[in-house]
Structures are given as C-alpha cells and as structure tokens.
Amino acid sequence: MAGDTQTISEYIVHHLTNLTYGKLPAGFERDDGSIVGDGGAWVMAHGGDEAAAMGFSAIHVDSMAWSIGLGIFFCWLFRGVAKKAESGVPSGVLNLVEMIVEFVDNTVRDTFHGKNKLVAPLALTIFVWVFLMNLMDLIPVDLIPSLLSLAGVHFQKIVPSTDPNITMGMALGIFILMLYYSVKVKGFGFVKELTMNPFNHWVFIPVNLFMEVVGLLAKPFSLGLRLFGNMYAGEMIFILIAALFSAGIAWAVPAGLLQVGWAIFHILVITLQAFIFMVLTIVYLSMAHEDH
C-alpha cells in the first residue's frame, strides 16, 4: 500500500526500481551528500540516478536472485517428483508434473521436426521456469518489499520477467542455439540461405542478406520483448491498483475487487506468455534444423 510519506508517482517509481549493485564513477555525488573517491566504488544503488551512473557494470541483484532461486526450486521440485514416480496412478503434485511433462512432450512432437535430444528438456525448462517467474506477479506488490525493508533492503522487484535484462538474456541464449544448430545442421547451406533467399540470383545477394539478417535478429528481440512487455504492463496495473488504497477508505472496496479481478485474469496471461515463449523457442530451433 502506498505510504503516507510518498506521492503516487514516488510510490510507482519505487516499485519499478531494481535493487542494483555496481560501480559508481569517481567524483559522483550520492544522495546522502557523500562524494565517491578516486577509483570509484562498488556499492548498492540508492536510487535510479545512481543505478544509471553505474552503467553496464550494474547488476540487478533482485532479478538475478529471484530468477536463479526459482530455477533451483524448479530443479528441486521436479527431481523430487521424478524420484517418487511409480507405475501406479499418480496423485497430487506427481500428477500435475506428469501432466506438464506430457503437455510439453506433445507440443515438441507436433512442432519440432528435427532430431535433437536437447529440445524437449529445454522446452520443459523454459515453460516451467518462465511460468514460475511470471507467477511471482500474483504476490501482493507491497508484501515482500515491505518485509525486506525491515532488513534495510529499500528496493525489491520480485518478478524477474519484468526485467528486460532477464528476458533478453534468455532470448539471447535461444539465439545462440539457433545459430549453432543452423551452422551444425546446414553447414555452408546456412550461408546460402542468408544470401540466396528470397531472390535466387547473385545480383540480389546484398538485398537478400539484409532482409535475412534483419529477420534473423528480429527473432530474439521479439522473443524477449514480448514477454517483458506483457509482464511489465501487468505489474504496472497491479501497482496502480495498489496505489488506490492510499486514496481513502472509499476506494478500498473497489481497489480490492479490481485487484482480485485482475489477478484472476492475469493467471491466463502468465500461463499464455510462458507457453508462447516455449513454442517460439521450439519453432525457431526447428527452423534451424531444416536443411532442405
């Protein structure tokens, strides 16, 4: 809930600021009035201005911690379920995990037309991992930041998929796999694909190369930015609804109804975005394996 000492704009900016660690340049004046000495200083940023001054060396600690933590939770959960798997009728979490595995396996069989043992495990990892990161958006926006503020942590974004560094990082990983398998499977044919399509004549090589490279680079950008844009918009709506609670008692009930309604609808969004990211990954890798 928006605090009494914060304006609405300050409340929104605070919730959209990552916990950032990086190196401040020498001579930089911090919010508390201190000046960074010679050689700079590796510190936690006290706000957006300091995070921006850190430049490329800055690390979003909260995004890294939550994404890695959720990845470890996914591995722990599925490993535990796999160890308990048996031939009888599954129940509880085991039944849920088997449904997810079967769903992903069928999707890969229907979409991927090559031969690669990596694709199915990768698709399962992407779907569950992205879903868990998106699921964090259903936790009340003030709950965890308020608890961590008692320990002196003033900024905390708990939804990693609202950080473009996370989504574009995953998309970059998929892009590297696309290039690797395109070269491995097609060999020189990949160069021919870039230079002789769509116009199959040497005169049009520059035109073909430009269009194919633009199309190739568009894949990771669309993959990462689609997930980021949808989740960031969802988080922003949750923050705006939460800010209504500070407008007075008359807004408490409408804000509560809006919060519940948007959360129910957002369950569809977070699942759909995880599914889309997984399917596009499978499709892009399938295209990389097409050597005809």
Q: How many CB atoms lie within 10 A of CB 33?
A: 6
pTM of the model: 0.90
Average pLDDT, the chain: 89
Catalytic residue numbers, as ranges = 222, 226, 230
Does residue 115 carry a pLDDT above 90?
Answer: no
Closest CA to 225 of 149, 279, 277: 277
Is the pLDDT assigned to residue 286 strictly greater than 80? yes
Residue 112 one-letter amino acid: F
pLDDT per residue over 182-200, tens digit each? 999 888 888 888 888 888 8
Residue that the structure tokens 């399962």 belong to: 124
Three-class secondary structure of residue 89 per DSSP: coil
Residue-level pLDDT at 1: 44
Q: Which residue has the higher pLDDT, 87 or 234?
A: 234
Has residue 4 got a pLDDT over 60? no
pLDDT band of residue 154 (cuts 50, 70, 90) is confident
* pLDDT of res. 3: 44
